[in-house]
Amino acid sequence: MIRVALVAACLTIGLSAVVAQTNPIVERQNTMKSIGAATRDGAAIAKGEAPFDAAKVQAIFKTYSDSAKKMATLFPDGSQTGDKTTAAPKIWEDQAGFKASLAKFDSEASAASAAATDLASFRTGFGNVTKNCGTCHETYRVKR
Ligand code: HEC
């Protein structure tokens, strides 16, 4: 009996995990949108349009790191096409390279977060981390 209940529980957990991820394409696009929003906030600070705020800049870099970790799980087989994805086939052809690009983005965001104690250090770190956007998009995204 206990064994049956356990199996049933495992199945339920397994199923809800699948349901939660029914659409990895939409999920990764939303993740990238939050990266985009954080980048707009960061650019406003870097340009002096918004005041330097230590908590805010930490939150921006945290969004980058958290999103990078999440992105690594959002390109399962079968999600190559559909939902107007701009993900390039190269993501699946070179999964190690793509994951390495995400890991680089993540670690540079953490380093920039730790180093961003004032506006000048924020600008340097933010400039450095946001180079990853174009580099990755050029390689792993197609233009529509
Ligand atoms: C390691 C790779 C990688 C990095 C780094 C990266 N992106 Fe992306 N980005 C992607 C991929 C892949 C897509 C396409 C997702 C899809 O359509 O399935 C994307 C899509 C987007 C989109 C479109 C989302 C939508 O509405 O569909 C925006 C905006 C975006 N990225 C902004 C950024 C910004 C800003 C940065 C840097 C701060 C960044 N990205 C860093 C890989 C990356």
pLDDT at 80: 96
Q: Counting beta carbons within 10 angstroms of the beta carbon of residue 67, is it exposed (0 to 12), middle (13 to 18) or buried (19 or more)?
A: buried
**Does the beta carbon of 130 sit less than 6 angstroms from any atom of ligand 1?**
yes
In contact, 139 and 96? CB cutoff 8 Å: no
pLDDT at 144: 78
Give the pLDDT confidence of 54-112 residue by residue, as tens digits: 999 999 999 999 999 999 999 999 999 999 999 999 999 999 999 999 999 999 999 99
d(CA 106, CA 100): 10
Q: Which of 8-12, 100-104, 116-120 has the lowest mean pLDDT?
A: 8-12
pLDDT at 65: 98
**Does the beta carbon of 141 sit less than 6 angstroms from any atom of ligand 1?**
yes
Average pLDDT in the 26-52 region? 98
**Does the beta carbon of 140 sit less than 6 angstroms from any atom of ligand 1?**
yes
**Does the beta carbon of 45 sit less than 6 angstroms from any atom of ligand 1?**
no
Cα of 117 vs centre of ligand 1, distance in Å, is: 27
d(CA 86, CA 81): 8
